[in-house]
């Protein structure tokens, strides 16, 4: 039997006439078709048009029970990025009505490779440890429109959180019952710099500054969401022997460090180390002795680790004669990173 082919060169749909009276080159109905296609060589003929197909669906796997839980119908994509060279799409997902966890939210950074059908869950977060926010802290009112891929680093910003990036070769873990927890962000600041006595200091320092009442050397600013300023205790100037110090402030911490305010986090190029100081967010006592360690990442694509052991610092007398030991302090040891002026850093513990 011969193949019958009819061309629709006029390209016009005619639903007025009886189908027996339709002139050549017209048609009465069409569904998922197009004319003049370049998908095949028969230009001018009607052929099927490719439609949309569901390629995947997203799930959250409970690390404790290994139960797979689908996202709610309220989940939305806040931003996308197409890596055409590798036929991969990255997208940023926020679910404000997730059924698992204290926050009631689930945030994800996911990729799909069209050539293999592989779905990679790069970052998944339902809680940053506070019971209020997720680690990604996506906000549906702030779309992620600034995305760029540089080598294996995916940079993104939503004008709500500080600019951030992930390594697309990593699949960042979520908390598990084995006791392994993802790093928790506790402070954000944009570094400043100063040179005093020929020694350069870079980072954040707003605590006890000399002299008083007109101090010099204050550097750095807190970045949302750690912008709340907690003043040091006491009244007016501190004195330490013949020295005077201005009573500055610290930026309140997040999550498991919300009882502390960071007053300095610095780096000295001359030594490769820096000073760490913090105060309690209430009362006049210092935070005592202890140690911290964690990671530090900058929005200039640098990252490393840091650690510090701290103890109560100097004892001062304020203008009312009250004796105060407001801060605990210690020397920071950095590995794999040096602080740079004007770069915004995320401090994780």
Per-residue 3-state assignment (H helix, E strand, C coil) for 181-201: CCCCEEEEEECEEEEECCEEE
- Is residue 333 over pLDDT 90? yes
Residue 175: what pLDDT? 45
The rounded percent of the chain whose pLDDT value lies above 70 is 85
Q: Worst-scoring range by mean pLDDT, 18-22, 40-44, 169-173, 190-194?
A: 40-44
Buried b (16+ CB within 10 A) or exposed e, 198-234: eeebbbbbbbbbbebeebeebbbebbebbeeebebbb
Q: Per the structure block, which two tokens stand in for 328? A: 């605990």
Residue 2: what pLDDT? 58
Q: Worst-scoring range by mean pLDDT, 7-21, 102-116, 130-144, 204-218?
A: 7-21
Across the strands, what pairs with 259? none
Bridging pattern class, strands 68-70 and 59-61:
antiparallel
* Angle made by CA atoms 285, 290, 292, in degrees to the nearest 5: 120
Residue 50: what pLDDT? 64
Q: Which helix (H) or strand (E) holds 202?
A: strand 199-205
Backbone angles phi, psi at 256, to 5 degrees: -75, 5
User: What is d(CA 291, CA 310) in angstroms, rounded to the nearest whole number?
Assistant: 6
Residue 337: what pLDDT? 95
User: What is d(CA 220, CA 108) in angstroms, rounded to the nearest whole number?
Assistant: 31
Contacts of 212 (CB under 8 A, 6+ apart): 236, 237, 238, 244, 245, 246, 247
User: What is d(CA 174, CA 239) in angstroms, rounded to the nearest whole number?
Assistant: 47
Contact between residue 79 and residue 92 where contact means Cβ atoms under 8 Å apart: yes
- Dmax over CA atoms of the chain, in Å, equals 109
Residue 182: what pLDDT? 54
Q: Worst-scoring range by mean pLDDT, 14-18, 139-143, 175-179, 191-195?
A: 175-179
Mean pLDDT of the chain: 85
pLDDT band at 8 (very low <50, low <70, confident <90, very high): low
- pLDDT tens per residue, range 235-278: 889 999 888 999 999 999 987 788 899 999 999 999 999 999 99
Residue 179: what pLDDT? 39
- pLDDT tens per residue, range 109-147: 999 988 878 888 888 888 887 778 888 999 999 999 899
Residue 49: what pLDDT? 65
- Is residue 207 over pLDDT 70? yes
């Amino acid at each position: 039997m011969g193949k019958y082919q009819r061309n629709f060169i006029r390209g016009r749909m005619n639903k007025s006439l009886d189908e027996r009276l339709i002139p050549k080159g017209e048609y009465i109905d069409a569904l998922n078709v197009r004319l003049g296609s370049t998908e095949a060589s028969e230009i001018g003929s009607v052929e099927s048009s490719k439609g949309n197909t569901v390629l995947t669906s997203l799930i959250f796997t409970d690390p404790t029970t290994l139960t797979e839980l689908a996202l709610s119908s309220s989940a939305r994509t806040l931003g996308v990025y197409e890596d055409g060279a590798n036929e991969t799409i990255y997208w940023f997902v926020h679910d404000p009505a997730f059924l698992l966890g204290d926050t009631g939210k689930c945030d994800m950074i996911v990729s799909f490779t069209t050539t293999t059908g592989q779905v990679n869950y790069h970052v998944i977060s339902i809680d940053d440890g506070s019971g209020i926010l997720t680690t990604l802290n996506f906000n549906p009112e702030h779309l992620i429109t600034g995305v760029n891929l540089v080598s294996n680093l995916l940079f993104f910003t939503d004008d709500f959180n500080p600019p951030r990036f992930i390594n697309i070769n990593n699949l960042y873990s979520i908390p598990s019952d084995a006791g392994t927890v993802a790093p928790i962000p506790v402070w954000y600041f944009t570094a400043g710099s100063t040179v005093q006595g020929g020694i350069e200091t870079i980072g954040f320092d707003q605590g006890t500054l000399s002299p008083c009442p007109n101090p010099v050397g204050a550097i750095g600013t807190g970045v949302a969401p750690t912008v709340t300023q907690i003043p040091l205790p006491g009244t007016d100037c501190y004195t330490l022997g013949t020295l005077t110090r201005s009573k500055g402030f610290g930026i309140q911490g997040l999550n498991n460090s919300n009882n502390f305010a960071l007053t300095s986090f610095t780096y000295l190029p001359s030594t490769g180390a820096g000073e760490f100081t913090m105060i309690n967010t209430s009362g006049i006592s210092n935070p005592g002795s202890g140690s911290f360690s964690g990671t530090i990442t900058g929005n200039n694509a640098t990252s490393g680790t840091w650690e510090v052991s701290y103890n109560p610092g100097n004892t001062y007398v304020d203008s009312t004669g009250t004796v105060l030991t407001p801060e605990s302090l210690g020397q920071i040891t950095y590995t794999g990173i040096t602080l740079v002026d004007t770069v915004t850093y995320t401090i994780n513990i």
